[in-house]
Structure formats: C-alpha cells, structure tokens
Structure 1
C-alpha cells in the first residue's frame, strides 16, 4: 500500500485491486487520507505535486492514469478500489477493461500480488505449494495478459512492472514454493522483454527485486516452523521499494534491486555460488526464526483475507532507510558522476606511475647498469670473435719429435676463454651498482634537512659536473676495452706471422 500512497501523493490516478471488499475499502480510505494531507502540506508550503504516470496497490494488481494535481473533491475519482482475485483471469481482465473504459488508457501496470509459507519442503502440502505458485506466478502472468494489449495499442506505450524478490536469484530455506514462484517471475520477465523488443512495442518491462523489506507478510503468512518468521537482516524500509516502483514507472529500466544486501548477494552468487548458497542456508535457518510462538493453525492470508492486512509497515526493527546502491541506481546522473570520478582517479594513478618510470629511466642509476651490461656483452662477443679466428695448435705441423706448440686440451681452451671473459666482467664490477641495505634505503627516503653545520646542497653546476664525470668514466672504459681488443688482435697476427716464418725456415732446411 506504500506504493499507492507514493503515487497518489504525486498526483497519479490509482486503481487498487484486492480480493476482499472490506479490506479494499480500508486501503482506499487510507490512501485518500494520506494523499489529501500531503497535498494540503504542499499547498501550505506554496508547492505543487509533481504529476506522473504510475500505479500502486496492496497485495494485488494495480493500474493508474497520468494526471496532474486535483482538488480534494476529485479524490474519490482519482483513487479507486476494485475487487478481483488475481488467480481468476476473467476478473483481472474485467479490471483492465473497466480502467480503460473509465480513464481512457493504462500508463503503468504493477504486478505485486504475493503470499508465502514458512515450512520445510517435506512439510508443505501439494495444495499449499499450488496456491503459492498460483498467486505469485500465475497472478502476475494474468495481470500481464490483461494489460499488455492496451499498453501496446495506446499512444506512447506504457510500463509493465513485476515485483519479484532477491529470493528469485538466491533461494533461502523454509520457502521452497515462494522461491520457485519468484524464479518463475524472473523467467517470465526475461521472455516477455525479449518478445516486446522483437515486436518493437513501446512497452518497458521491469523487474523489481527487493531484499528483506519490513512488510506485514511475515506476520500474516502461514508458518510450520513453530514460531513467527522474521526477515533476514538487514531489513529495509517499505518506502524504498515504493520509490523503486515509481522510478520504473517513469524510466524504462531492466530491473531494480532494493537494498544493498541484494546487490551484495547477487554479486557474491556470481563470484562464489557455492559459498553464497552455504551462507544463505545457514543464515536462513538461524535468522528466520523469531522468539514468538506461532501455531500452524493460526490465521493466515494464504487462502483468505486477514484483518489488518492493509497495514503498511511490519513490526521489525531496526529498519534501514537508506541504500546507497539503490539510490545510485535510481539517479543516473549521480551514478555517471561517480563513474567519472573513479575513472579520473584511476587515470591520475596511472599517469603518476608512468611519470615515475620515465624519471627512473632518465636517471644515471637506471642507465649506468644497463650500459655496463651492454659493454660487457660487446666485449665478450669481440673476444670470442678474436679467439675463433686464431688457428688451433693441432693445425701447426710438427718438424721433430718435440712439438713446436703445446697442444691444449678442449677443457684448457674453454678455461682460457672463460678467464678472458671473466677478466672483462671483473673490470666492470666498479660500475655495477650494488644492492642497498635496508638502512641505506630508509636513509634515502628521508627528506633532506639543511642544518647550519651540514654541507650545503650541491648546486646545479656541481650535479652537471658529476654527470659529466660519470659519462667520461664510461667512455674511458670503452676506449680501454677497444685498446685491449686491438692488442689481442695484434698478438694474434704476430703469432701467425711467426708460425709462417718458422714453417718457411723448416722447409728451407729440408731442401
């Protein structure tokens, strides 16, 4: 009934449909009284009600027609009650026909009829299971069948809203039939949305998924667990669900979750379905049992209307009145501003990281080790190339029983090459920065403090001089390495000349 009050106080014509005329008259009286008081307060403040198309009701299917504010004498025409049972398609179809005949169109049709029973599956009778499915699933299907032809034919289309539950995404114990019916509602919504989109009908199909909401359903439902059931905490205010329905009546959205806990359960079920199911099972058995005894023979609303069923709020406290995630879902501009701020913050972090990397690569602490490694590789390649060009001692002819050169074994040749490469690496050790200790790293991070007795900070000229000296040291090492390579090449050529000269002398002696 909170949805009917919210729609009526904003100037919408509201049709409330219920199965009991006495309870229906009581609900209509409450909604009219609330709408009149709200409009009087706004008029005293010098304001106006914002008329919008919407529809509301209590435990039934409801419709409304768009209109502006109206005098108090017209309140009876704006808020009307019609008796019908949502499990009877002919009665629901008659309500739709009467609304169109009286007001000319249907702007929004909300299906929110629901009953429940708290019991284990094995304790649920077939008739009780069938009754819950009939009201929760078939009742909403009948409402869509009755209203959809008018919504598709009229100019401007309309909104078709189904009130499901977060239990349709993540089931909880003690409510097997209720969970099955809400799963069925979500399947119906998805199918209907696809068909409406394919036929290009101007009708928005929306699913509302409330988490634990403080409604009288827990007090009026049938229970076979020995106590009165309670909602799983946290419990949210009923008006949050009413605001979500009113928002869906004016904005075509796929679905709206009411309550931050609903968003968290949906996210966790996608991330870790087994863990989430185990948690909800444990929480469902523990938190849904109150301390108040209630017999299975106590009056309930499963088959018949219960007195005081038109009350708005349940008796559960504390009740959360704010849900940031739901608020952002119904305020797209604020949501886009939040996304923009998050992207801007991410861009700042990435930009700072890129700048720091570039600064590190431009510093001598980054360049010097890499230049030293490059010079080491070049020196090693040059040494290997020089050694590969020298003839093997085994290729030199023997002119006597004593060999002219000692023939080295393969291990000796490998050892000689490794020693030469090692000598080049050892020459580069002074230029390779060593790993700093923890104390040295902490000292480097401390800010520099200038004391009267401490030396002054080096000037820009001194830093440039130090940088020039480092570059000069690197170039000097490169020149020394080049001279060593030239000397090794010269020694190789001299050895070849001596070997050639010796062979020539040996040949002359033989002659």
Structure 2
C-alpha cells in the first residue's frame, strides 16, 4: 500500500492502522525525519515499511514512489492519494503563487499519483485499488478557503472521469473517492493563513480513524464513494437541492467556524512551501470531536446495518400492530 501525506493526520493514522493489519507500506511525505521515525516504529512492531521523501506536486518525485514500491515489495495493490494543504484568506488577498502551490499539492498531486497507480496496474495486469481523498469542500466550496475548495472540486471531477475511463478500458482497478467532513487533524496548523485570527475548526469534528477505516475498507471492497460524517453527506445533498439557502448558511456560519480567538501565526510558519511539524495525528481545534462516524460504520458493514434496520422495522411494526389490536 502506498500512502501520500503519511507523516501526519489522516495519512499517519491510516499508515499505523494498515500496518497493524499486516499491510506492507510505502510512505510518502516531505518530512524525512518524520517518515524515518514512522518506518522505524512500524518495523519495531513487526511490520514492513519503506519511505520516500516526496513533494507530490512534482511528477518525478511521485514516479520515484512507484519505483520504490516495485523495487522493495514487487509492486503495490493499493495507492492512496491523501496529501494536502490549505490556504485561508479572501480571494482578493491571497497571492497567486500561493494559490498555484495549493493546486500543485491538492490537485496535481492526485493526478500524478493516479497516473502512476493506473499505469502500474495496467502494465502488471494485477488488480488494484486507487483511493483519492477528497473533501466536503469538494462538494460545496466554503468562503475563506476558496483555493482549497476549488482544488478539491477538481479532484472530485478528475476522479469521476478517471473512473469511467478505467472501466471503459477494462482495467482491473477500483477507483474510490472519500469525502471527509470536518476531521480532527493538524490541517489548520499546516495551512497558510492571511487572516488575523488563527485558523481552527469549531462545531462538530470526526476522528481521523473514521477516514482511515473508510480508506482501508475501500482497499478491499470496490466502492465508488465513501462519506465520512453525516455533515459531508448532508451538505452535498442540500447544496444541490437548495444552493441559495446554502449560500446564506455559509455566509452566516463559515466565517465564524473557521477561526479561533487567537492571533494567526506568521505565514512562513505554515507547511505550504515546506514540510510541517509532523507525526501529529490530531489538531488544536475548538470543536466537538465525535468518537466515530456512524455513516462510515453503516457503509463498511452493510450486512450488519441492514440486519439492524430490518430488526428495528420489525420491532416498530410489531409495536404498531399491538397498539392497533389493543384499540380494537
């Protein structure tokens, strides 16, 4: 399994969880010290892992990740495009260079990784899974993070088109798009900010383990889309049905909910242009972090969920019939 953005947040949690389940890993990120420490941790626990210092915005770096997987483990069965970084600020305030940099990582990183993965599966003839980590903001963009949302919109569109092309070509590749909602990771600490207040999440958040569970499920079970957190599914649905209402909610809620009552850090301290302070799974948010995502549980355990739903329906029907009989 190849995982980009493996040195923190979702990528770090996914790597640790996959290693515990016996996966052999090739880990990619920009922070060499963090990757080396993580690989040592996995090997000390009896697992197998290699790392490649990678800027996913560079095609040659990503090609080197694929070569390392082939040379070290004979290939890979799963490729996870997870690397990402955000940019906070009004459209007219942020620099075009910073906008391009976000697209290099968030969008072009997915393109480079997807092409490397599909080429490997096509040339080797072995079945595989390509998993692209999108975002709730790829279904409905938010103010203040317009560049990140636009890049994720591009990821969603690219993934949809690639899925159709892979199927039309008869390639044995499952292509999954994961839609995380608000997740408790160091995402905001890594982001570059033009705001006076420090970026932070308020409101409801989900643990990174919920996204990791979705990713690992997609690695073994072909799935078109997986939503992490009901907020992601609800927002995508409501945005399509009532776009003007969604605009008003965004205007009222999203400015407040994306900043903390603390001064912003200097822009040069962000991880936009260089590796961040990694090996952290969680962030310093001000929201309510849920223990799990029931939507992920329902999606990854459909039989159990269906059985429970049928049992609940049967129980409700029995109760109604009893009340009707008592009245008669």
TM-score, with length taken from structure 1: 0.58
Distance 1:216 1:446, change over 3 A: closer
Q: Which moved more, 1:325-334 or 1:151-160?
A: 151-160
Distance 1:275 1:170, change over 3 A: same
Does the CA contact (< 8 Å) of 1:111 and 1:162 recur in 2?
A: yes
Distance 1:138 1:106, change over 3 A: same
Corresponding residue SS for 1:5 = helix
Residue 277 (str. 1) matches residue 277 (str. 2) = no
Partner of 2:87: 117
Partner of 1:81: 51
For the pair shown, which has the larger CA radius of gyration, 1 or 2? 1
Q: Which runs of 4+ in 1 moved over 6 A?
A: 345-352
Distance 1:205 1:232, change over 3 A: farther
Distance 1:210 1:446, change over 3 A: closer
Partner of 2:73: 103
Shift of 1:315: 2.1
Residue 315 (str. 1) matches residue 284 (str. 2) = yes
Residue 7 (str. 1) matches residue 24 (str. 2) = no
Aligned partner (choices 217, 222, 228) of residue 258 of structure 1: 228
Distance 1:84 1:322, change over 3 A: closer
Residue 202 (str. 1) matches residue 162 (str. 2) = no
Aligned partner (choices 152, 161, 168) of residue 131 of structure 2: 161
Distance 1:183 1:297, change over 3 A: closer
Task: Determine which structure has the larger helix proportion and give its number.
Answer: 1
Shift of 1:146: 1.1
Partner of 2:33: 22
Shift of 1:155: 4.7
Partner of 2:105: 135
| Structure 2 counterparts to residues 331-370 of structure 1, below 5 A | 331-341=301-311
User: Residues of 2 paired with 1:274 and 1:322: CA distance?
Assistant: 31
Residue 94 (str. 1) matches residue 64 (str. 2) = yes
Aligned Cα root-mean-square deviation (Å): 2.5
Shift of 1:299: 0.5
Gaps of 5+ in 1: 37-71, 357-444, 448-511
Corresponding residue SS for 1:101 = helix
| Structure 2 counterparts to residues 417-428 of structure 1, below 5 A | none
Does the CA contact (< 8 Å) of 1:226 and 1:296 recur in 2?
A: no
Gaps of 5+ in 2: 1-11
Residue 293 (str. 1) matches residue 304 (str. 2) = no
Distance 1:11 1:285, change over 3 A: same
Does the CA contact (< 8 Å) of 1:208 and 1:258 recur in 2?
A: yes
Shift of 1:185: 0.4
Does the CA contact (< 8 Å) of 1:152 and 1:158 recur in 2?
A: no
Q: Which moved more, 1:255-264 or 1:123-132?
A: 255-264
The alignment of Structure 1 onto Structure 2 pairs a total of residues equal to 315
User: Residues of 2 paired with 1:132 and 1:124: CA distance?
Assistant: 11
Shift of 1:236: 0.9
User: Residues of 1 paired with 2:253 and 2:304: CA distance?
Assistant: 34
Does the CA contact (< 8 Å) of 1:236 and 1:319 recur in 2?
A: yes
Task: Determine which structure has the larger strand proportion and give its number.
Answer: 2
Shift of 1:278: 1.7
Partner of 1:363: none
Deviations 1:17-62 (A, max 9, x none): 12232232233234445xx2xxxxxxxxxxxxxxxxxxxxxxxxxx
Aligned partner (choices 191, 198, 223) of residue 228 of structure 1: 198
Deviations 1:120-139 (A, max 9, x none): 11111110111101110001
Shift of 1:150: 1.4
Deviations 1:312-346 (A, max 9, x none): 11123531112222210111102322454576579
Residue 324 (str. 1) matches residue 294 (str. 2) = yes
Residue 146 (str. 1) matches residue 128 (str. 2) = no
User: Residues of 2 paired with 1:269 and 1:233: CA distance?
Assistant: 19
Corresponding residue SS for 1:87 = coil
